Chain A
């Protein structure tokens, strides 16, 4: 099974995506295809014997220009669109001025020679708009008509009525200018083209911003210095660096590949991954991720994955999958829009026919106005634009959605089930207390270092607590080290047998299964207590959720005593000794009481619980991202980002409703007015293209970061993103 990614730069909408999907359907050897119109990418999973180049042909036959390049930057496309927009804007200013003179002349009288002159001048400025600026509409309309003819379907893209309106208005105006009689509509043509290009430009910028937020892979360096065994550095391409290689990361450079710090201490800006601007410190043995920035001194890392398997690639993959998957509301709008186009063409024809009986001289204007005014662009853009903007905003806060209907679901949430370990508390155990049990003839410091040296050999999560507490431990002090899986580590220190592990392994008795004992010559000498510290912002996040009307229950597999104190501090209910089955029962019970349940956990275990929840969210520490089954991934180590998420979800719902309401109300009032001849074509152009721009700009409001989260008075505050300190960075223990 191989995976190929094809970039299709001229894919615009869901209609194009559907055509590409059906073009690849039924080809032997293709296991799965998914098309992402936002990123203009097609992902194909196929058997290894298929040459990916062969996959381009069917897409090309469907009328697109595919290529195998992995990443296509949005800037060439943006530049092209910006030039077309600029030319249309400059021409529009001139044509509008002539139009004002012509309209004034129509009322007050104007010598035919000057009328002619102004019309000719308007024509001159209109030609570049039709021939250059509006070209994408014509070519896209042509592609759509061709493919509709071939597949005998009536699904035409919205560019068809647009192109038809521009072409018809321009050619009638041209004929009237040359013959010297009748109306001209150059002003409507240029305004229509300019406003539509503006809407398209905003749409494109939104998509590019989403790509940028997501695709930091593109910003990874091409080469990285690899450390050879003799200590020399050699630049190698990222693709050539294998797992286990050692890479040197200079100050101010991006980490090129996922790995583990081997020497030195890393001070990292992980905001590209987590959205957190507070720098974090990573000591040897701790993981670092590609795409993050080294703000401290240089350090060395041991590579643990390839570029394609890196965490940042996995995030990009998950997020763009959600982008490709359309929420039900957007799918419905697409279906309406697809049926709308043939209906508009029919309506325009009927209008023309009806006016033939009433007043043939008005027939063309009325038909043209109907064609222009009824284009359902705003309706089709309303939901996807808002969702793209919201997902971009969330991605910048370190929140990744893996399903697109999650935002809709989140608005109804009124109960939450939160895991204790790893969610409310930090997954990294901390050494909280040492009790000395017997005198062994060694000093306490000595024994602590021996314990840490022994734990250096263990891979158990508790061992990390020792590595953090005693980074100065020296493994060479202890010989004959043997790791006994599931029990502990044994060794020799100054000729004496030392062992570290759980109580039974060291000859002691203890109810706390997380206590670690150190024994010297079989006598328990020290007891180390290990706890999971509460996440820094857990209390604030819990309070915020409660004031947003969400009822929180903490669940844990731990004993009730361990839960009670914590639940008390936070002021929430708890359920102790919970197995996955009882958690599932709890979710079901809440749902039966009519609650909509959010499950917050590590997102990896408890798959049935995650599936049963209305929305599942995961706080990710170092767990494997790809294994995560959650709908929402909180990449920042902040529970508070859950509040941001809820705020964005509510704002998105409001924006979608405003957009759909506006688009529907606009079409319902404008179409009858146009058909009855109460509207000039230029008013129609302004109305139709203006409402697309309105809808896009309304969606773009979701991108702004300086609005207070939960601004609708439901409480909960969280400061905006602080600028990272330039010196003396605030270091947070990860």
Chain B
């Protein structure tokens, strides 16, 4: 069971990375608008003026 001494720090590290990625995503507006992009396919506009 000494493997726990290695696995627990690894889990700590992985969770740390996951938390950092999550905070990065929130700060970069990844969760701002979960509804609108589904409708993008219906817009037949080729420009990229408001994306």
Binding site for B on A (CB under 8 A): 75, 79, 82-83, 86-87, 90-91, 94, 111, 114, 117-118, 121, 124-125, 723, 726-727
Q: Which of B4, B15, B32, B44 contacts A125 (CB 8 A)?
A: B15
Contact A90 B4 (CB under 8 A): no
Chain A residues with Cβ under 8 A from B42's Cβ? Answer: 723, 726
Cβ contact within 8 Å between B44 and A726: yes
Given A79-B26, A726-B42, A90-B11 contact (CB < 8 Å): no
- Which residues does B use to contact A, with CB under 8 Å? 1, 4-5, 8, 11-12, 15, 18-19, 22-23, 26-27, 31-32, 42-44
Residues of chain B within 8 A of A86, CB atoms compared = 19, 22-23, 26
Q: How far is the CA of A505 from the CA of B23 in the complex (A)?
A: 77
Contact partners of B19 in chain A: CB under 8 A = 86-87, 90
CB distance from A445 to the nearest CB of B (A): 42
CB–CB A94/B11 < 8 A: yes
**Which residues of the partner chain A approach B43 to less than 8 Å between Cβ atoms?**
726
Closest to A124 in B: B12
Among B18, B26, B32, B44, max chain A CB count under 10 A is at B26
> Are A83 and B1 in contact, CB atoms less than 8 angstroms apart?
no
**A90–B11 alpha-carbon span in the complex (Å):** 11
Contact assessment for A83 and B8 in the assembled complex, using a CB-CB cutoff below 8 Å: no
- Provide the bound-state CA to CA distance between A117 and B1, in Å: 11
B12 and A114 contact, CB distance less than 8 A: no
Question: Within the complex, which residue of A90, A111, A114, A121 is in contact with B22, where a contact is CB–CB below 8 Å?
Answer: A90
Roughly how many angstroms separate A91 CA and B44 CA in the complex, as a whole number?
Answer: 44
Contacts A90-B18, A723-B42 known; A82 to B31 CB distance under 8 Å?
yes
The residues of A that contact B12 with a CB separation of less than 8 Å are 121, 124-125
- Asked whether A117 lies within 8 Å of B15 as measured between CB atoms, the reply is no
A residues within 8 A CB of B4? 114, 117-118
Measured CB to CB, the closest approach of chain A to B5, in angstroms, equals 8
- Asked whether, in the complex, the Cβ of B44 is within 8 Å of the Cβ of A121, the reply is no
Can you list 19 A-B contacts (CB < 8 A)? A75-B32, A79-B31, A82-B31, A83-B23, A86-B22, A90-B22, A91-B15, A94-B11, A94-B15, A114-B1, A117-B4, A117-B5, A118-B4, A124-B12, A125-B15, A723-B42, A726-B42, A726-B43, A726-B44
In the docked arrangement, what's the CA distance between A235 and B42, Å? 32
- In the assembly, what is the distance between CA of A723 and CA of B42, in Å? 9
A79, B28: Cα distance in complex, Å: 10
A sample of 7 more A-B contacts (CB under 8 A), given A87-B23, A723-B42, is A79-B27, A90-B19, A90-B22, A114-B4, A117-B8, A125-B12, A726-B42
